[in-house]
Chain A
Amino acid sequence: MKYTEEHEWLRVEDDVVVVGITEHAAEQLGDVVFVELPDVGTTVSKDDEVVVIESVKAASDILAPIDGEIVEVNEAIVDEPGKVNDDPENDAWFFKIKVEDLGPMDDMMDEAAYKAFIG
């Protein structure tokens, strides 16, 4: 698992990268009530706004953590946004992205570094 300063996690699974938000992020957001995911097939660049997530408090954008093509999205969290609070680091993944170059992941935080980052 790798982590970004935007509180996303990335997990390499076969030839794709699975992306979601961290427990810490879910806790800070509060109860999630709405998730809008990108269309499968969309090509995204790092820092593109790819997901809109709304909690009882406010709307937030989730940025693409890496360049690639969206190959699968998790419709279950669109139907039940509360899953993002229940299990953000497993069941409630956001999308899978096919990445040409995994190199940028080397620069991302590992779990220990992320834990230090969120204090």
Chain B
Amino acid sequence: MANPHLDADLAQTVFHDLHVELGAKMVPFAGYSMPVQYPLGVMKEHLHTRTGAGLFDVSHMGQVILRGDNPATALERLVPVSIVPLKEGRQRYALFTNEDGGILDDLMVANRGDHLFLVVNAACKEADVAHMKANLADCEVEVIEDRALLALQGPKAEAALAAFVPSAADMVFMDVAVVESDFGELWISRSGYTGEDGYEISVSSDSAVEFARALLAQDGVEPIGLGARDSLRLEAGLCLYGNDIDETTTPVEAALEWAMQKARRTGGEREGGFPGAERILAELEKGATRRRVGILPEGRAPMRAGTQLFASADATEPMGQVTSGAFGPSIERPMSMGYVAIDHAETGTVIYAEVRGKRLPATVADMPFRPSTYKR
């Protein structure tokens, strides 16, 4: 397939030529030229990931190592998350917050013994690194530039990776390991962003393409683009930074209380001490005025990002807005997430979305829309 207008300013991952060879349609994403879909198409790629295994290039994301006398204690100054008790070989979801309690980025933090390993969003990585350098003078912030990142997701992911790294089969959700392989040292975590069991694997850029080809040659492994990645993560109820969470949404508004452990809350042993603590701790006690919820349209029309939400069919003022919306190939219906006023946030509440001038009914729903299959 032709790619006539590749923007010269776009960065490329080490897999760029492989994507083109595999027939990917390349699009700009967070400053990178990335595959949005392969010849299989978004719908089949999505379904394949849920039944076989999907290989995703996520090398645009930032890989960062944090070293110091006590990097966990230091990092807690920037996140409302308990990092200190995180055991070696384990990973946890975290959030960088700002002074207003908004979210600067969401990230993964792994304890790898003498240092922390962080994976941050592509669009935020420069700002995140600057933020850490400015505020963590007691740490060394090393941006990893010579490694690629792959996600291998789906029920056949374990067998595909275990063909090269047998010990990967013994890992459980949110375990991390550094493993020697035929493709050099692999940094593996049993995690991902699709709601499926699977792995994210950091591999040296020198052997990355060879490794990707080896995985693609395994039974049931197909390359999957950003299009399916988006519908997969939405079915799994996971936030896309920049859409569902950003500097104007707090972690409590975003329904991410589960990511903020007791130790950092009011009365906890390491209470507060992160940017925006005053607002976030107050909201943890009293709740916020709006909340991120799942939304299931009653009809077949997708309710996409930006769609205004109303309390009734004839309400004059919107009380919320959709932040992500798409068709869910596995649940075979449209699905959205968005923010609603807190008195409309309860599961089962009927709300109305304005789609092409018409008020269409929808129901506030629990997420994930499809149960996740992580290996616990």
Interface residue A30 (Cβ < 8 Å from any Cβ of B): yes
C-alpha gap A52/B356 in the complex (Å): 9
Stretch of A3-11, A53-61, A67-75 at the chain-chain interface: A53-61
Interface residue B60 (Cβ < 8 Å from any Cβ of A): no
Within 8 A of B (CB), among A39-80: 52, 54, 56-57, 59, 78
Within 8 A of A (CB), among B37-91: 37, 41-44
Distance (whole angstroms) from the CB of B361 to the closest CB of chain A = 16
A56-B326 contact in complex given A31-B43, A34-B300, C-beta closer than 8 Å: yes
Query: Which interface class (under 10, 10 to 19, 20 to 34, 35 or more) fits A?
Result: 10 to 19
A30-B41 contact in complex given A36-B301, A54-B302, A56-B231, C-beta closer than 8 Å: yes
Interface residue A33 (Cβ < 8 Å from any Cβ of B): yes
Q: Which residues of B contact A81 (CB under 8 A)?
A: 300
User: Interface digits, B130-162 against A, CB 8 Å rule (1 contact, 0 not)?
Assistant: 000000000000000000000000000000000
Which residue of chain A lies nearest to B300 when distances are taken between CB atoms in the complex?
Answer: A34
Question: B interface, by DSSP: helix, strand, loop or mixed?
Answer: mixed
B42 touches A54 (CB 8 A): no
Q: Which residues of B contact A54 (CB under 8 A)?
A: 301-302, 327
Q: Which residues of A contact B327 (CB under 8 A)?
A: 33-34, 54, 56
C-alpha gap A101/B24 in the complex (Å): 45
Q: Which residues of B contact A30 (CB under 8 A)?
A: 37, 41-43, 227
A34 touches B301 (CB 8 A): yes
User: Interface digits, A2-39 against B, CB 8 Å rule (1 contact, 0 not)?
Assistant: 00000000000000000000000000001101101000
C-alpha gap A56/B335 in the complex (Å): 12
Distance (whole angstroms) from the CB of B44 to the closest CB of chain A = 8
Which residue of chain A lies nearest to B327 when distances are taken between CB atoms in the complex?
Answer: A33
C-alpha gap A31/B41 in the complex (Å): 7
Distance (whole angstroms) from the CB of B266 to the closest CB of chain A = 44
Which residue of chain B lies nearest to A54 when distances are taken between CB atoms in the complex?
Answer: B302
| 19 pairs, A vs B, C-beta closer than 8 Å | A30-B37, A30-B41, A30-B43, A31-B41, A31-B44, A33-B300, A33-B302, A34-B300, A34-B301, A34-B302, A34-B327, A34-B334, A36-B301, A54-B327, A56-B43, A56-B231, A56-B326, A57-B42, A81-B300
Q: Which 7 A-B pairs have the closest CB atoms?
A: A33-B327, A31-B43, A56-B42, A34-B300, A34-B301, A54-B302, A31-B41
